[in-house]
A = this chain, B = another copy of it.
Amino acid sequence: MSTPPRRAARGGRRPGDSGTREAIAAAAREHFGQSGYDGTTVRAIAATAGVNPALVLYFYGSKQQLFVDVMRMPFDVAEAVERLVAGDRATIGRRLAAFVLGALDDPQARNVFLGRVRAAAADRDAAATLRGLITGELVGPLVHRLGVDRPELRAGLVSAALFGHVMTRWVVEIDAVVGMTADETLETLGAVLHLQLTGPLGGSADPPDG
Question: What are 22 A-B contacts defined by CB distance under 8 Å?
Answer: A1-B124, A90-B208, A91-B210, A117-B121, A117-B167, A120-B172, A127-B171, A135-B174, A135-B175, A153-B180, A155-B176, A156-B174, A159-B172, A160-B165, A161-B164, A163-B163, A163-B167, A187-B205, A188-B201, A190-B206, A191-B205, A194-B206
> What 9 A-B pairs have minimum CB-CB distances, sorted nearest first?
A90-B210, A164-B164, A160-B164, A121-B121, A156-B176, A190-B205, A191-B205, A152-B176, A156-B177
The distance in angstroms between the C-alpha atoms of A151 and B199, with both chains bound, is 25
CB of A106 within 8 Å of the partner chain: no
A contacts with B, residue count (CB < 8 A): 71
- How many copies of this chain are found per oligomer? 2
Q: Is the CB of A205 within 8 A of B174?
A: no
Q: Is the CB of B198 within 8 A of A210?
A: yes
18 other contacts beyond A91-B210, A186-B205, with CB at 8 A cut-off? A1-B123, A38-B38, A38-B39, A92-B210, A94-B205, A120-B172, A121-B171, A134-B172, A153-B180, A157-B192, A159-B168, A160-B168, A161-B161, A187-B202, A190-B205, A191-B205, A192-B196, A198-B210
The distance in angstroms between the C-alpha atoms of A202 and B174, with both chains bound, is 18
CB of A130 within 8 Å of the partner chain: yes
CB of A195 within 8 Å of the partner chain: yes
* Interface residues as binary, A73-105 with B (CB distance below 8 Å gives 1, 0 otherwise): 000000000000000111111100100000000
CB of A22 within 8 Å of the partner chain: no
